[in-house]
Amino acid sequence: LERLRKRLYKKEEKFERRFEEPQLSYKPERARAEWETRPAEEIIAESLKPRPFLNMKSFVWAAGIFVVVVGALAAIYLFGGFGYTSSRNIEISISGPKEIGGGELARWEVSVRNRNDAKLASAELSFRYPQGSKPAAKVTSQSLIERKSLGEIPAEGIVKETFSAFVFGPESFEGELEAVLEYRLEGSNAIFEKSEKTSVRISRSPLGVSIKIPAELNAGREINFEVSYISNSSEIIKGLTLELIYPPGFFFKDSKPKPAENNNRWNLGDLAPGEERSISLSGVFEGEDMDKANLAARVGVLEGGSLTVYGGSSAEITLRRLFVELAAKVNNEDKPVVRAGDSLSVEVSWRNNLPQAVRNATVEIELVGDAIDERSILVINGFYRGSDKKIVWSPSSVSGLSTLEPGQSGRAQFSFKILDAVSLSKKNITNPTIKMAGQIKPSSGPDSFENIDITGKFESEYKIETSLQLSSRGFYNLTSLRGSGPLPPRVGRETVYTAVWTLANISNDASGVEVKASLPAYVSWKGVVRPSGEEVVYDESRSEVRWRLGPVKAGVGISQPAREVMFQIGLTPSPDQIGDSPTLLFDIAAQGRDDFTGNLVSDSELSLTTDISSFDSGVRFTDGRVVE
């Protein structure tokens, strides 16, 4: 081999022949022209021979398919209704309110029915409350899930559980509830579940929020405004927070009380039912003439750093930049609430924003509105011109108007009264307003502003709020609904009285009107109401009676018949009340929303006692005191 290798690479080397002749020879073979014929017995024998096992890949696929098929068959057996126990044979229903006022207590009853032929073991019911709710039971605020153990549910058995919570959230918020049943089958450790969902809508916000600020402001001047909030809830709302969202160009100055953080968040604490509070603020809105600024207020509860909103409001403000400013405040407020019969004190202020003095300026304020009592108008250092209903100040009456230096300001005052409720009703005035249109106009402008109108102007409108007037009286000898039992009331015996509520509404339509009161523990609800068309409900858990009037038209009780309802309550005195006139109803109050102003309006009455001699002529003063 070594010699051959050397010869293989040797120059000009030639191989003449092989050392040995090849042993294999080429044998040509032709393709078959027909199928091979084999005996049938041989073919059958070959087919009966055992096949080799599948390869590993095919085996894995076959095993996987087997597991899937077995799982599917098990699911059909357990849940498809063909087996011994099926989730389709478990019924879960949730009954409760579909709509509720924010902050009110809601109750839901969850019913679980087992229609299977076998019992359900280790059953547990979980109930998830709507977002923002305050469950009556102690649950974690993050999950809002309450769990109750049901134990075993026998075949064809029914189990019912009740869940309750105070529901909070903004108006029209739709909260979802879910009931989940977890259970085991006898002899199995596997956990199965069945669930059901429903929802509840908040018909009224638990908090009313309003921003009292003029619709038009002078840019660059400090302004005072107010954010008010009131509880519509029947329970105390705890841990409230107010958050303001300022527009670009707003600069915070001060507030009362002081903010908790970032000059836009206040800790409000707890708010009792029907309680109203406000926060006063001051600041500066910067911007160009006719710029729009949007201010928003949100009140709710902080949870995990984020605010769960219970109520909110917003206001759009138009900014003005005037050469000579003119503004007015009523009762030292930029946007006060005005009611029938109010006395209004108006302060008019002006300021020269020009770099040069202006001379001989005249200030005129036009008063427009049928609700103004013209006889009450009083102007200080000026006069009221009845022909065109204008209040006028001139340089002859106010010396400061003779010359207004750059940056110089001045002020003047006048006052007037709003017609009372009876006068408004007699004039058939609905949705009354008062408008003021003012201007300050110099006789001539500075030389550099010769062709420019430097007149300062303002316009403001004040809507007069309606007034709900509630009357609460007690009777024993009322013909249409007589009382019963001993009079004067005796210890241990029941005396039935008739309570009569009457409501009037003065000038504007109102909606969502409701009157409510609480009953002491020794007073019982008799369930007798007249007329039957009025919606009066009694909440036994809170010992509270509510008269739901809904919408009430303007003039009801003035130019139209008043709304009235009567119901009966029973007093059973105890020995420690001998000689006293026990309370029959307390916390009597009416509330609704003024459709014209958008404000909440209310009225309240003193507690009703057994001393009803001032209402019922057939009852003596001494008949109100408990005897033995």
Q: What residues does each domain of the chain span? A: 87-203, 205-321, 322-465, 468-624
> Do the domains 322-465 and 468-624 sit in the same CATH topology, yes or no?
yes
| For residue 206, cis peptide bond before it (omega within 30 degrees of 0) | no
Burial label for 414, CB within 10 Å (0-12, 13-18, 19+), is: buried
Q: Which pLDDT score is estimated for 226? A: 93
Q: What is the pLDDT of residue 473?
A: 96
Alpha carbon of 426 to those of 23, 558, 559: distances in Å?
Answer: 140, 9, 8
294: three-class secondary structure by DSSP: strand
Cα 295 to Cα 248: distance, rounded to the nearest angstrom: 10
Whole-structure pTM value: 0.52
Q: Contact, 431 vs 347, CB < 8 A?
A: no
Q: Report the alpha-carbon distance of residue 572 to residue 583 in Å, rounded.
A: 11
HSE value, Cβ hemisphere, 13 Å, CA-based, for 178: 12
Closest CA to 155 of 193, 192, 118: 118
Q: 310-336 pLDDT, tens per residue? A: 888 999 999 877 788 898 989 887 666
pLDDT at 83: 46
205-321, what's its fold? Immunoglobulin-like (2.60.40)
Q: At 57, is the secondary structure helix, strand, or coil?
A: helix
Cα–Cα dist 553/466, whole Å:
11
The pLDDT value given to residue 173? 83
- 411 with 438: CB under 8 angstroms? no
CA distance 233 to 274: 7
> For residue 33, what pLDDT is reported?
54
What is the layout of strands, in order, in the sheet containing 145-153? 99-101, 191-204, 174-184, 120-128, 145-153
For residue 325, the model assigns a pLDDT of: 87
Taking alpha carbons only, the member of 332, 338, 418 closest to residue 377 is 418
CB atoms within 10 A of CB 430: 17
Can you list the alpha helix ranges (DSSP code H) found in 309-373? none
What is the rounded CA–CA span in Å between residue 11 and residue 265? 103
pLDDT number for residue 38: 54
CA distance 243 to 265: 5
Measuring CA to CA, how many Å separate 127 from each of 136, 176, 202, 207, 556? 13, 11, 19, 26, 46
Contact 308, 300 (CB under 8 A): yes
Beta pairing, strands 535-539 & 403-404: unpaired
Q: What is the pLDDT of residues 545-586, one digit of tens each?
A: 999 999 999 989 988 899 999 999 999 999 999 999 999 999
User: What distance separates the 2 farthest-apart alpha carbons in the chain?
Assistant: 157
- How far apart, in whole angstroms, are the C-alpha atoms of residue 19 and residue 483? 145
What is the fold, at CATH topology level, of the domain defined by 322-465?
Immunoglobulin-like (2.60.40)
Cα–Cα distance measured from residue 452 to residue 455, given in angstroms and rounded to the nearest whole number? 9
87-203 topology per CATH: Immunoglobulin-like (2.60.40)
The one-character DSSP state at 44 is H
Residue pair 256/225 in contact (Cβ under 8 Å)? The answer is no
CATH architecture assigned to 468-624: Sandwich (2.60)
Q: Flag residues of the chain having pLDDT under 70.
A: 1-84, 139-142, 334-336, 448, 451
Q: Among 531, 347, 332, which Cα is nearest to 438's?
A: 347
Q: Do residues 450 and 370 touch, judged by C-beta distance below 8 A?
A: no
557 has which bridge partners? none
Q: Which residue has the tokens 């006022």?
A: 101
CA 267, CA 565: separation in Å to the nearest integer?
Answer: 41
CA nearest 200: which of 134, 110, 102, 273?
102
